[in-house]
Structure 1
Amino acid sequence: MTFDPFFFMRGKLGGSQSGQSQQQVAYLRQLQREMRVEETLNIPLTELNVIVFDIETTGFYPDQGDQIISIGAIKVKGDEIKEEETFYSLVRSEKPISNEISSLTGLTNEQLTTAPLLSETLFEFFRFAQDYTLVAHHANHEKMFLQHASWKLYRAPFKHRLVDMSFLYRIAEPELKLITLEECCKHNGIPIIGRHHALEDAKLTALLWSIYVNKLKRLGCESLKDLYERYTMV
């Protein structure tokens, strides 16, 4: 698989789907118009506003029926984690989840039966995220599900910059082969709490982001543009 450190989700919103109000679509369309993705490339990482997030899903393949069952996120500016500015929601599941997924995430079919619809949760998540840069650990998973959901609900992908945390690991410490969130946390002395809970995983990733912002600054990488240029030289 080709490594892509930056994902761009672009497009114009089409018609609304069932459960998606005209007001919601209008809001998201306006957010797209106001979003200035390219400008974030030059903002110093120590000043960049990001939304670090995580999703829990029923599997790995949204085009084969796997679903988002929870979303968790937290705001970060530079290396400052905004502990009080978080987002978390379950997502109604269209079919029963497996015992394996229930055991892994701690979520039950009873909880997901009465949870908000994906259209409602995703809209609230985008309202929380605004035009911030999105950050996730191994973001290709989040990318696939967000693109699939955005197309399903809005008939177009959504326009956000999505940065993969593993990109930062590769630039800051290329000699290490850090893969899992557990490995990255252990390497950086971060206690692992609440694993496979979307908000708790987002908080762990936010701690890693705050650490690597400073590691990269010491290497002379002060913006996303610097990181991209350093990556092309590796």
Structure 2
Amino acid sequence: MGFNPFVQFVRGIQGKLQTNMFGGMNSQNPQHIAFIRQMQRELENTDSMAIPIGNLNVAVFDIETTGFYPDKGDQIISIGAVKIIKGKVSEDSFYSLVQFEKPLSNEVKELTGLSEDDLEKAPPLSEVLISFFEFIKDMPLVAHHANHEKSFMQHSCWKLFRTPFKYRILDTSFLYRIADSNRALWRLEELCEFYSIPVANRHHALGDAKLTALLWCRLIEQVHKLGYSNLKEVYERLARFG
């Protein structure tokens, strides 16, 4: 799985710098232009599928949102991410609230601990996404039950940048279905408890990203013990047996 699509994504943003896509910032914004050009110089088309599974560096991320349906107006209100380098969770992390100027539902307030005051002065989503992409660069992404993250990232990138979200997100469930296919545990806290990972800061974007990263590392260990050396072999196993 090479990350040439990331090159296309960055070039797509570069082509859009002629318009006011970054909260009114125009094509002369030196920081964004420098970022785009540096990314183009640094990107390599690495085949992540063939990298030994214990050496695969990834960025694990999580988002908190106002609901489940971006096409119906639900929005991202925070993003958290942490890197895994050679099988170990790094201290290198990313976290940002996202500006939201409407009332939050009581359910979201109770679940996330966030309030309208927290989000009113936060940076807009366009700026947060640029900072997030700068943090992850061309690293593969990982999320727990990734359809939620994927749908919001796709919707946001198209709405803000008119650019498709080209990252492929690796889902923890891919590994879990191989590591322990006989157990019906799906919620993040259930899986963490099963693998003796202390659950803390649940429903906080960075907290959940860290829990997912620890879970990913444990699943990688389990899958490796079963004889799978890279993601290509994992995907082939899933394709054969579902």
Question: Please, what TM-score do these two structures have when normalized by structure 1?
Answer: 0.89
Q: 1:29 to 1:151 in 2, by over 3 A?
A: farther
Runs of 4+ in 1 over 4 A off after TM superposition: 8-11, 32-38
- The count of residues paired between Structure 1 and Structure 2 equals 226
**Hey, what does 1:171 align to over in structure 2?**
178
Query: Residue 145 of structure 1 corresponds to which residue in structure 2?
Result: 152
1:58 aligned residue: 66
3-state secondary structure, aligned to 2:53 = coil
> Identity percentage over the alignment?
53
Check whether the contact 2:57–2:87 (CA below 8 A) recurs between aligned residues: no
Distance 1:193 1:148 in 2: 29
Give the match's secondary structure for 1:46. helix
Matched, 1:216 2:223: yes
User: After the TM superposition, which of the residue ranges 140-149 and 19-28 deviates more from structure 2?
Assistant: 19-28
One-letter amino acid of the counterpart of residue 53, structure 1: F
Look at both structures and tell me which one has the larger radius of gyration over its CA atoms. 2
**Which residue does 1:4 correspond to in 2?**
none
Query: Is this contact kept in 2: 1:41–1:223, CA < 8 A?
Result: yes
Question: What do residues 158-213 of structure 1 show as CA deviations (whole Å, max 9, x unaligned)?
Answer: 33221011111011111111211011111111111110000000000011011111
1:226 aligns with 2:233: yes
Matched, 1:100 2:107: yes
Distance 1:179 1:152 in 2: 31
Structure of greater relative contact order (alpha carbons < 8 Å, 6+ residues apart): 1
1:184 matched residue in structure 2: 191
2:26 is the counterpart of 1:19: no
| Residue aligning to 2:125 | 118
The answer for the alignment partner of 1:81 in structure 2 is 89
Report if aligned partners of 1:91, 1:121 keep a CA contact under 8 Å in 2.
Answer: yes
Higher share in helix: 2
The 1:231–1:159 alpha-carbon spacing in structure 2 relative to 1, beyond 3 Å, is same
Q: Which amino acid aligns with 2:112?
A: T
CA RMSD between the two structures:
2.1
Task: Decide whether the 8 Å contact of 1:72 with 1:202 is kept in 2.
Answer: yes
Quick one: which amino acid aligns to residue 99 of structure 1?
N
Cα shift at 1:157:
1.5
Q: Gaps (5+ residues) in structure 2? A: none
CA shift digits 1:39-88 (9 cap, x unpaired): 11111111111001100000001111100000011010232110x20000
